Structure 1
Amino acid sequence: MKKWGYLLIGLLLFVLTACNSTAEPQSGATSKSSDLTLEEVYNKAIERQNELKSVSGSIAMDQTIGFGTGEESIEMTTKSDLKLDMVTDPVSMYMDGTMTMGEPTAEGDASMDMEMYMSKEGMYMFDSQTNQWVKLPSEEFDAIMGQTANQVNTSEQLEQMKSFINDFTFEQSEDQYILTLEAASDKFTKYMLEQMKINQTLGLSEEDTQMLENTKVENLNYKIEIDKETFDMTTMDMNVTFTMDIEGESMTIKTDMVSKFDNFNGVKEITIPQEVIDKAVDVQY
């Protein structure tokens, strides 16, 4: 199911899209109101994004995967709390946190620590079960590295999102511009799946492609907050539900994720410790 990690990364591209409407003040807001349109906010945010060299952030994610229906249904839950630092040039990342998984057949939830380094030298993850560092295969690393690098320049993807202009609402609070997207349509599902297929770096197998053919975006609620003064994206709140058919069985994936960003241009460099590189074991999936 690692391909769905890529799909969720793709959702992060839906930050802004052009629309000539002015942000409406939120109910109860008493602060100064801005007359900037969504298109103007879009342009300023993209300009700011192009200036960003690094960022820090936190991600809180709850995911539920359900198999089957009725009495034979099975549900698995995952809760992740992560902190990350990212540098855009050269693309590098450090992330650590915890992941808690709950399974119906287990006596209790299983919690594991997560730690990861990614740079041009490779992608290294700490396996808390074996208490050792592992290095991802080059093909997996190339796919993730290429996908991550694509996030630095989102112009093409944002251009493609113009067909969803009418799905956005545009509001403002005292300090933030607030963009909200609610989408659950065949058009949106088709777009999402096409983006997955187009990205050949993922190396989709025939089985993966068939799974995508039988996938539908049932629900998507997506909220972004942009600082009025700096035009930095400070918060991203996403709720998305997918359904798919796998060999005649129904599966539902529901993800609730809140990401917060700060320390803009504050991370100067991310270096993988030599000890991690020396002790890492190559793994194959």
Structure 2
Amino acid sequence: MKKWLLLIILVSFSFLGACSTELTEDAASIEEILNNSIAAMGDLTSYSMTLESEQTMGSNEDDSITLATKSEMDLLLEPLSFYQNITMNLEMMGIDMSYESYFTEDLGFYMEEPFSGQWSKLPDQFNEEYMSLTETQLSPEEQLLPFKDYISELAMTEDNDHYTIQLVGSGADMQTLMEHISGLAGEGMDDMFFDVMSDLDIHSIEYEFIIEKETYFQKEANIYLELTMDVMGEKITLEQRSSVIMYNFNSLNDFTIPEDIINNAVELDDEDFMTDFNFDF
């Protein structure tokens, strides 16, 4: 059970079009819109999010594995708390699973084991590490900040209600952007990401986010990533498409973990949590 907990935690972290009528190339306009959106998202107290992702990975077409994931999340940002429901489909292995999780700063992290339905409470030591990771990842304005350094690389279209800002790049030009975005993983994670970066060959990154004109809220993001990485001397290609929808802005007022989950969850200590960490299904 413990190896499944670690796998689904990693999947949880991995993790972000309008009808165009006008093309805008003015960098000053894009920067102003981006700054307004960063300010608006920084004032949020709560929101909901749906993330759908399809990831295909393998050394060739014959041995590729496709993982489809859908995550629905409700979040309060101060104090940080959330509810998450994740469904996963690992096509090659015929695996379908779903599970729920809860987190609050005072009670900690509770996660459902996807096959047995048993709930576990993660070690308290994990809470601080998780907080450093999620506070940055789940702060909407942080997802936009890296693009301020790439204003000249952005293009914008707009319709009556939305701005659509796009960044399209390829190859080595995107290495710096990838390193910049990896910093969103939180304190203590940068070194791990940079070690992995040294073995990556980035072929393509396409990033599009849609901003509502009236509120400057970021409503949607669409991301495409293609890269090759060296894993134990073997070249593995990764292709991922993700779509993020954000809604229910500032409409969530309270958050509680059900009492039956708190009372019946199995508490894991650090040794329990780290034992048997492997991906042999």
The equivalent residue for 1:178 is: 164
Deviations 1:28-83 (A, max 9, x none): x7xxxxxx9112212221221122100012121111121x247xx52111112222
Name the SS of the counterpart of 2:167 in structure 1. strand
The equivalent residue for 1:91 is: 80
Structure with more helix by fraction: 2
Match of 1:143 among 121, 129, 142: 129
**C-alpha distance in 2, partners of 1:200/1:267?**
28
The equivalent residue for 1:43 is: 35
The equivalent residue for 2:226 is: 241
Report deviation, 1:193. 3.5
The equivalent residue for 1:26 is: 20
The equivalent residue for 1:267 is: 252
Q: How many residues align?
A: 253
Deviations 1:176-224 (A, max 9, x none): 110111122324324424664795433866xx76433202332111111
**C-alpha distance in 1, partners of 2:124/2:181?**
23
Root-mean-square deviation (Å): 2.9
Question: Percent sequence identity over matched residues?
Answer: 23
Cα pair distance change 1:217/1:114, threshold 3 Å: farther
Deviations 1:238-277 (A, max 9, x none): 1112321012101122221111111111111221122212
Tell me if structure 2 keeps the 8 A contact 1:69–1:250. Answer: no
Tell me if structure 2 keeps the 8 A contact 1:143–1:202. Answer: no
Report deviation, 1:126. 1.0
Gapped regions of structure 1 (runs ≥ 5): 13-24, 30-35
Name the SS of the counterpart of 1:271 in structure 2. coil
Partner AA of 1:101 in structure 2: L
The equivalent residue for 1:77 is: 66
TM-score under structure 2 length normalisation: 0.78
Tell me if structure 1 keeps the 8 A contact 2:228–2:238. Answer: yes
Partner AA of 2:41 in structure 1: Q
**C-alpha distance in 2, partners of 1:5/1:242?**
20
Gapped regions of structure 2 (runs ≥ 5): 1-6, 23-27, 275-281
